[in-house]
Chain A
Amino acid sequence: MAIKILIIEDDISTSQFLSYTMEHKGYQAITALDGTDGLKKALTGKPDLIILDIMLPGLDGFELCHRLRAYPATADIPVLILSAKALAADRIAAFKVGANGYKVGANGYIVKPADPAKIVDAVKNILNKKLQREN
């Protein structure tokens, strides 16, 4: 069974690019264009990894990540943030405490624009760590 990657990204072009890149590496890609749809697909689709944008309509990436951590079904899904937010503060917030004071707990953070190879490497690394943890 192919590894399933959920791409939560509101920019259609970026979403298409990420889908192609993941599929080209042999992963299965599913997409969501806003936070609410992303949460729904995370809960039902059982993805192995989520590539998450921060500035999303509806539910923003930080809040979505925090919610994912609260559900047993999604608590352990690794999250790679791919965001245009380039400030160090955002990066720190992604790993520790979000803007509203809650824990976000992302597993990786990449600033847009990023080379597809870099994104693929990050995805591989995170998946490997997950495998190590599970074994």
Chain B
Amino acid sequence: MTIKKVSDTKPSSTRVRPPSKDLAELATVSRDIAEREQAGRNELEKRCRHLGKVVEESTATIGGLRGQLKLESNERKRAERDIQTALKYAENIIATVPVSFLILNADLRVTSANRYFYNTFKVTPEETVGQFIYDLGNRQWDIPGLRDLLEHILPEHTTIEGFEITHDFPSIGRCVMLLNARRVYWSHDESPLILLVMEDVTQRKSKLQSIQAALEYAEDIIAAVPMSLLILNADLRVISANRSFYQTFKVKPEETLGQSIYDLGNRQWDIPRLRDLLEHILPEHTTIEGFEITHDFPSIGRRAMLLNARRNREFSQTNLVIMVIDDITELRKAHEALREVDRRRSEFITTVSHELRTPLQSIMGFTKLMVQGKVPDPITQKRFLDTIDKQSERLAGLIGDLLEVSRLESGKFVLKRQRLSLRDAIRSAIYELCSFTKEKAILIVDNIPEGLPDIEADESRIKEVMFNLVGNAIKFSSEGGKIAVNAQATHNEILVQIIDQGIGIPAEALPHLFQKFYQINGSDTRTRGGLGLGLYITKQIVEAHGGQIWVESELNQGSTFSFTLPLTLAPESR
């Protein structure tokens, strides 16, 4: 734009001046005026241009500002909307989350609570908002743990998480609550609010507890089973083992876990039959039961192991092998021992049967011969009757011994103790045996001192002991032999010894001599018959009296049987 300002300069150009000098002067002035006019015009133009520019810039600025203002207003509106949305969002969350939400002010009064809180604790907003937290619902929130949290712990921390309290709420019963609390300042001049989030973890807790209990139960069982348990992965490496495994095989967890089963304990588990089981049999069967392995384990010796194995595919994709190892070595031993008892019993029955049948053969044979009139000679008849008589007594004696053992073992063996002179008892027994000594012209030397103190004992049993011991001495003495019977008293017992000069007892037989049914193998003893019960019964009688019995012997030199009887009753003896 161009503005021409010419009106101010017009009056000066019309002024009258003298001619000549005045003309020249006029001309100069006129030039001057014209120049000034020009300069003024230039200046004006320049200013006008500047002004125009300023106006232009200002207009642009104003336009810009107007746009910006419009933009800011939109943003604010959007932000407000966002805040509203967020608030609603938060409110919705607070309303819908299955946790109780409580906002308290600094005085611990409820400012607000969420729906879940009201539902859970069966209270209404009217009886809640504005209340002191401890007063809520009949003071059911006055819980020491909560007081602790709100009054002591929270003031020192901004946030508390996972604070657990267990409480009997009158309205809902016993609950486990997980509390999260947070102190919040909305602005600097206001006092803080407390956000309290309460989660009822009672069910979760009880589920967790039952899982925990089940786990502990399983672990207890695994630990308690006397069998060794080994869990292997698909590569047959040990994942876990139980206490029994470590105890049985004398290994430590650190040398076991992660190891290949074959490498365990100096490769002591590298057993062909086990390889067979794990690599061939188990892959084709899910379960293997009663697989028995007998193996010399370097650490524990020869053992019989019963293996039960199970592949577990259901439980995990790793295809675990659960192996139960039962050390049945003792069971096997017991089984063997039982078989030995059984063997001995049937041996005993064979022996008894034989020993009973043998005298019965001559009794039956001679009787039948006589009954059938095949023995007409009276002298022969008498001889046969004598044999029948002797064999009957032998039979009765055998049956008596069997009954005695049966009594001894059934606990029906009762001593009839009475005060008696051991000297008289022994002498009476020896006297009764005299008929047998005469047959073989055996001399019995009685060395029993007169002043031998009396004892309390069962007279018939003591006589039985003497019959057995002196009877044996007679049996195993050669004709014309000598048997000494000695007795002496110490301060608390009487020692009786029966010394013969007979055939003696082989050293290997000595330890077994007092065992039931023991018979010395050999031609000389077998012919003398018997069940091998005499010395067993003798030992039982002596021990029932609180005494001891033992033997010393040298082959072909003779034997000495010694027994003691206590002078005073042992309190525990029968």
Contact = CB atoms under 8 A, between A and B. Distances in A.
Interface stretch (A79-87, A97-105, A126-134): A79-87
B368 to A, nearest CB: 5
A1 interface: no
A34 B528 CA distance: 13
Contact of B362 (A17, A58, A87, A115): A17
Contact of A86 (B357, B369, B380): B357
Interface string B352-373: 0111011111111110110010
A113 interface: yes
A33 B361 contact: no
Contact of B360 (A20, A87, A113): A113
A99 B529 CA distance: 23
Contacts of A111: 357
Could you say which interface size class chain B belongs to?
A: 20 to 34
Interface residues of A, number: 27
A115 B368 contact: yes
A63 interface: no
Interface stretch (B82-90, B239-247, B325-333, B519-527): B519-527
Contact of B364 (A20, A24, A115): A115
Contacts of B364: 113-115
Interface in B342-393: 350, 353-355, 357-366, 368-369, 372, 374-375, 380, 384, 387, 390-391
Interface centre among A33, A57, A58, A111 (most CB of B within 10 A): A57
A17 B366 contact: yes
Given A13-B391, A116-B368, A84 B361 contact: yes
A21 interface: yes
Interface in A92-126: 111-117
A20 B358 CA distance: 17
A82 B361 CA distance: 10
A21 B387 contact: no
Contacts of A85: 350, 353-354
B361 A14 contact: yes
| SS of B interface (majority) | helix
Given A85-B354, A87-B350, A14 B365 contact: yes
A11 B126 CA distance: 116
B361 A11 contact: yes
B350 A17 contact: no
Given A16-B387, A85-B350, A11 B362 contact: yes
B358 A17 contact: no
Given A10-B526, A57-B522, A57-B523, A21 B369 contact: yes
A86 B362 contact: no
Given A16-B387, A85-B354, A87-B350, A114 B523 contact: no
Interface string A1-21: 000000000110110111011
A46 to B, nearest CB: 25
Contacts of A116: 365, 368-369, 372, 374
Taking each of A11, A34, A112, A115, which has the highest tally of chain B beta carbons within 10 Å of its own beta carbon? A112
B381 to A, nearest CB: 11
Nearest to B386: A13
Contacts of B362: 11, 13-14, 16-17
Nearest to B375: A20
B383 to A, nearest CB: 8
Contacts of B374: 21, 24, 116
A39 interface: no
A55 interface: yes
21 contacts: A11-B362, A13-B387, A14-B358, A14-B362, A17-B361, A17-B366, A20-B369, A20-B375, A21-B369, A21-B374, A55-B526, A57-B523, A87-B350, A113-B361, A114-B361, A114-B365, A115-B364, A115-B365, A116-B368, A116-B372, A116-B374
The 10 A-B pairs of least Cβ separation, nearest first, read A13-B362, A57-B523, A84-B357, A17-B365, A84-B354, A112-B361, A113-B361, A113-B364, A113-B360, A112-B357
Interface of B: 350, 353-355, 357-366, 368-369, 372, 374-375, 380, 384, 387, 390-391, 522-524, 526-527, 529
